[in-house]
């Protein structure tokens, strides 16, 4: 905490921030940085994008719920919906401050505790929209990222343990990663490229999901086939919502209605389409027929993979990225049955592997012709960028996997992580929530 004598002018004291949290009074607004101004078009696009990204989390709930057994449909959906509530509250209380507040190379400060100083004026990170709009847009990223992990532990994790996990994971792992990449931390200082969350969202959640499913172990088999999704129309509908919302996820990350947003929008659609077709082709070659589940999985793989590069590459490059995503992520999902780990809903194979591909693709294909604020990649004359991207990926994987393992072990000391055998046989809905999803 900064002493009173050295506190920067206009910065609210920590005690003032805490007071605002406790009584619900108005936060002290910080002065806008020189040269900034609120642009109504940019503000409208960022707010619309925030709504699109929020809509992705119910879409994720449908996408995941259709793939589990019917006795777990409500519990699986609740994993996504509860993240919308818990993470939003934590983000407003302290998450935004630790992610984007002035701090060091590894974590932000507490000057925005309780959203103190976050109001109608812009900030240096988003100079044409109110800081409050930037805050709520980033909140939606914080909501969906831990919810992605739930797909790896579906059908067997206790709800209480899950709540502790996503709250602590967001605090201990997600917030530092955001600060490193987007909040002025060490990754941003070395000019790593991550347009909309390749490392911050997909690599972190995907590799954390791998650790989580290994710690919990495989699902127990029973009379219902574990491998058979109970309601694929739900999954297809959820994938459509994800595809729709992803335009806010990626194009919204331009933080304005501008040419970079246009590139990100087109690239998002291109990669999803190419990923879907590539996955279908791989299924045809490997199994003799494409499937609905594989098709939408390919689209999501294309979406996840383009995310870090969406605002840095050309549309034709996005098509290539989508093809690679469909082929490689298909192979990663096929491999899990041979290696014996139970990543229930393919979080690691789609999001973890896709995020790595996308981060490295940015290091190869990024061009200042698309985004003058970025750096060129290897194929445009800057081979060092690929090394920077690889270092960012390696650091994210190491931190996320180690942190997830420690968190799960600590949580397991004071509450069981996994359902008892009879509870797992009855299903999440009945054993944990005393509900059933369907009455026939």
**Would you say residue 55 lies in a domain?**
yes
Q: What confidence score (pLDDT) does residue 9 get?
A: 36
User: Secondary structure of 82-104 in the HEC alphabet?
Assistant: HHHHHHHHHHHHHHHHHHHCCCC
Q: What confidence score (pLDDT) does residue 27 get?
A: 44
Q: State the Rg of the chain over Cα.
A: 21
Range of 229's domain?
39-433
Q: What confidence score (pLDDT) does residue 220 get?
A: 85
Which helix H or strand E contains 110, and what residues bound it?
none
- The 10s digit of each residue's pLDDT in 174-202 is 999 999 999 999 999 999 999 999 999 99
- The 10s digit of each residue's pLDDT in 342-386 is 999 999 999 999 999 999 999 999 999 999 999 999 999 999 999
Q: Is residue 328 over pLDDT 60?
A: yes
Using pLDDT thresholds of 50, 70 and 90, give the confidence band for residue 35.
low
Q: Is residue 273 over pLDDT 90?
A: yes
Per-residue buried b or exposed e for 401-428, using 16+ beta carbons within 10 Å of the residue's own CB? bebbeebbeebbeeeebbbeeeebbbbb
**Would you say residue 139 lies in a domain?**
yes
Q: What confidence score (pLDDT) does residue 17 get?
A: 45
Q: Is residue 28 over pLDDT 50?
A: no
**Would you say residue 24 lies in a domain?**
no
> The domain that contains 300 carries what CATH number?
1.10.3430.10
Q: Is residue 33 over pLDDT 80?
A: no
**Would you say residue 11 lies in a domain?**
no
**Would you say residue 200 lies in a domain?**
yes
Q: Which pair of structure tokens corresponds to residue 129?
A: 């929209």
Q: What confidence score (pLDDT) does residue 184 get?
A: 95
Q: Is residue 21 over pLDDT 60?
A: no
Residue 368, helix vs strand vs coil: coil
**Would you say residue 19 lies in a domain?**
no
Contact yes or no for 289/283 (Cβ under 8 A) = yes
**Would you say residue 352 lies in a domain?**
yes
CA atoms of 291 and 394, how far apart (whole Å): 34
**Would you say residue 1 lies in a domain?**
no
Number of independent structural domains in the chain = 1
């Amino acid at each position: 905490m900064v002493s009173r004598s050295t506190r920067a002018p206009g910065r609210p004291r920590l005690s003032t921030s805490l007071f605002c949290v406790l009584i619900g009074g108005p936060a002290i607004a910080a002065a806008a940085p020189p040269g900034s101004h609120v642009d109504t078009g940019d503000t409208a696009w960022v707010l619309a994008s925030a709504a699109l990204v929020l809509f992705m989390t119910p879409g994720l709930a449908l996408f995941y719920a259709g793939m589990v057994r019917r006795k777990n449909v409500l519990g699986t959906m609740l994993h996504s919906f509860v993240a919308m509530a818990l993470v939003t509250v934590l983000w407003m209380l302290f998450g935004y401050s630790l992610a984007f507040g002035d701090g060091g190379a590894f974590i932000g400060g507490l000057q925005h505790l309780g959203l103190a100083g976050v109001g109608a004026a812009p900030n240096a990170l988003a100079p044409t929209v109110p800081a409050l709009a930037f805050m709520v847009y980033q909140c939606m990223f914080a909501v969906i990222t831990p919810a992605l992990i739930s797909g790896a532990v579906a059908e067997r994790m206790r709800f209480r343990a899950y709540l502790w996990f996503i709250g602590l994971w967001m605090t201990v792992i997600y917030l530092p990663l955001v600060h490193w990449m987007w909040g002025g931390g060490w990754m941003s200082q070395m000019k790593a490229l991550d347009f909309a969350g390749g490392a911050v969202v997909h690599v972190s959640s995907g590799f954390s999901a791998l650790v989580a499913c290994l710690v919990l172990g495989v699902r127990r088999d029973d009379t219902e086939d574990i491998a058979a999704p109970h309601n694929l129309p739900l999954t297809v509908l959820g994938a459509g919502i994800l595809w729709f919302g992803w335009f806010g996820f990626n194009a919204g990350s331009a933080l304005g209605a501008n040419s970079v947003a246009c590139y990100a929008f087109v690239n998002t659609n291109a990669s999803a389409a190419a990923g879907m077709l590539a996955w279908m082709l791989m299924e045809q070659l490997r199994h003799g027929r494409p499937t609905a589940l594989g098709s939408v999985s390919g689209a999501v793989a294309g979406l996840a993979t383009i995310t870090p590069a969406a605002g840095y590459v050309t549309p034709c490059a996005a098509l290539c990225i989508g093809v690679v995503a469909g082929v490689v992520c298909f192979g990663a999902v096929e491999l899990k049955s041979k290696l014996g780990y139970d990543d229930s809903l393919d979080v690691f194979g789609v999001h973890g592997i896709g995020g790595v591909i996308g981060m490295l693709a940015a290091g190869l294909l990024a061009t200042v012709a698309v985004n003058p604020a970025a750096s060129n990649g290897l194929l445009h004359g800057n081979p060092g960028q690929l090394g920077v991207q690889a270092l960012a990926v390696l650091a994210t994987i190491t931190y996320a996997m180690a942190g997830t393992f420690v968190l799960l072990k600590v949580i397991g000391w004071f509450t069981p992580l996994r359902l008892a055998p009879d509870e797992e046989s009855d299903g999440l809905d009945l054993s944990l929530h005393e509900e059933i999803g369907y009455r026939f």
